[in-house]
Structure 1
C-alpha cells in the first residue's frame, strides 16, 4: 500500500496524525510521532500476522494488541512502539526468564513481521506489555508494565539493555 493510501485510510478512519508527541511520548530529539489506534489500519498496511486476535506467548500468557506508535528522531532513526495488554501480568508472579522469552517472541514473531509498509526498516522496536490499557506517556503506578528495546539488524530483533 502506498503511503498516500494509508494516510487517506487513517483520515477516513478518524485517526489523527499529531504534529507533536504527547508529554513523554517522543524521543528526546524527536520531530513527533504517529499512533495507529486500531489494528484494522495495520492490517490494511499489510502485516504478516493478525494483530486483532489474542496472541498466545511461549509462556502461555495471552496478550492483546493495544497500539502501534511511530517516532522519528532528528537523525531520521525510526522507532516503532508495539504496545500490548495482558491482565494476566498483574495476576501472576513475574518469571523474568519466561517474560524475556515472551518479549523476544513479540518482537521477532509478531512486531517485526507486522511493520506497516509505510514505515519500512525501523532502527528500533520497543515492546511493552501492561496489565491494563493505558494512555501513552501518562504515569500509572497502579498498573504493571514491562518494556524491552530491540535494535533491528538483518531483519532480526537484537535485545538492547536500557
Structure 2
C-alpha cells in the first residue's frame, strides 16, 4: 500500500491539497530550531567541567572548569572560563591568584579555544570558591575575575 503524500490544508475555510516539501516536512522545523538557538541563546554555555578539566596551577593548587560561556556583545565575542577553586576561600593573596589566572588563560584557555575554533576578542577567567550560577550575586562565595585580550597567541591582562 503506497502512502498518499498529499496533505490537506485549510485556509480561510477552504480545503487545499498540498504536497509535503521535497526534503520532508521537517525542513521548516530545523529552521525554527536554528532561529531559536541563535536568537534565544546569545550567551551560551559551551562546556561543563569534567574530571579531565582540572587544571594544575603554578601555586600548586588545582581549579576545576565549571563552564565555558560564549557571550556576544555587539561586535565583541567574549569567552568566559569559569573555574571552581575551593582553596581561595581561605584568604589567599591576590598576587598568587592573579598569577594562576594568567596561567589558566595562557596554558588552558588558548588551547581550548583552538580546539573548538572560537576566536574571541576577550577572555575572562574567573575563580570561585564554590559553584555559582552565572550572573547571580553570591556574596558569601569568594570570587576573582580577570580579563585578557588576545594578541599573537598570548593572553594580555586588561584591567576592568
TM-score (norm 2): 0.70
Superposition RMSD in Å: 2.3
Counterpart pick for 1:103 among 89, 101, 104: 101
Counterpart pick for 2:45 among 18, 35, 41: 35
Tell me which residue corresponds to 2:132: 134
Show structure 1 runs of 4+ deviating over 3 A.
16-21, 116-119
Cα offset, 1:39, TM superposition: 4.5
Q: Deviations for 1:118-151, whole angstroms, at most 9, x for unmatched residues?
A: 5532110000010001110011011001000000
Cα offset, 1:72, TM superposition: 1.3
Tell me which residue corresponds to 2:157: 159
Q: Which secondary structure does the structure 2 equivalent of 1:115 belong to?
A: helix
Cα offset, 1:38, TM superposition: 2.5
Tell me which residue corresponds to 1:64: 64
Cα offset, 1:36, TM superposition: 2.1
CA distance in 2, matches of 1:79, 1:72: 6
The structure where strand makes up a greater share of residues is 2
Q: Which secondary structure does the structure 1 equivalent of 2:119 belong to?
A: coil
Unmatched segments (≥5 aa) in structure 2: 1-32
Tell me which residue corresponds to 1:54: 54
Tell me which residue corresponds to 1:79: 78
CA distance 1:87–1:121, shift in 2 (3 Å): same
- How many residue pairs end up in the alignment? 126
TM-score (norm 1): 0.69
> Contact (CA 8 Å) 1:63, 1:84: kept in 2 or not?
yes
